[in-house]
Amino acid sequence: MERTFIAIKPDGVQRRLVGEVISRFEEKGFTLVGLKLMSVSRELAESHYEVHKGKPFFDGLMKFITSGPVVAMVWEGDGVVAAARKMIGATNPLTAEPGTIRGDYAVSVGRNLIHGSDAIETANREISLWFKEEDLIAWEPSIMSWLVE
């Protein structure tokens, strides 16, 4: 089953939006298979965002991501990678559609609340970067027959 890596960034935790974000994914019908509150090391932050190394915002991004606790999660479901990106909204919260998480709760690209993997391959890389395999729980929600035909 498809999985994606989602992280509530330090601004989301500070702003008490952890429950709101988790609710949106639960209510949509995706399945939580991994969850932890953690401090992010500079090493992990650099590895996670390695494609952005050298860009003008990189140092600010590193400072921000390591500035406070992050909620790291893995969510499962058919099409979850692309669907989560839609639920999260555009990178710049000012252009993110209302109804998306960034569109509803944020105003600045450097404080955009949440990360979601941008492709299935990226998701696999990020999940193994942030989680040990044994910390991911494969389970069959009992409501599955009410979610999927």
How many Cβ atoms sit within 10 Å of the Cβ of residue 140? 8
Stretch of 35-43, 68-76, 110-118, 134-142 lying at the interface with ligand GTP (CB under 6 A): 110-118
**Contacts for 101 with CB less than 8 Å, ≥ 6 apart:** 21, 24, 87, 88, 89, 113, 114
112 is in an annotated binding site: yes
- Residue 45 binding ligand GTP, by CB under 6 A: no
Q: Does 61 bind ligand GTP (CB under 6 A)?
A: yes
Biggest CA-to-CA distance, the chain: 48
How many residues touch ligand GTP under the rule CB under 6 A: the total is: 11
At 131, list the tokens. Answer: 């989680």
118 touches ligand GTP (CB under 6 A): yes
Is 31 labelled as part of a ligand binding site? no
Q: Which does 20 bind (CB under 5 to 8 A by kind): Mg ion, ligand GTP, none?
A: none
Half-sphere exposure of 134 toward its Cβ, with a 13 Å CA cutoff? 0
- Structure token pair of residue 115: 């990360």
Sketch the per residue contact string, 111 through 140, with Mg ion: x for CB under 5 A, - otherwise. -------x----------------------
4 binds ligand GTP (CB under 6 A): no
Residue 146, classified by CB atoms within 10 Å of its CB into exposed (0-12), middle (13-18) or buried (19+), is: exposed
Which one of the spans 4-12, 24-32, 66-74, 110-118 is the region binding Mg ion (CB under 5 A)? 110-118
Rounded to whole angstroms, the Cα distance separating 119 from 121 reads 6
Is 34 or 116 the residue whose CB approaches ligand GTP more closely? 116
Catalytic residues: 115
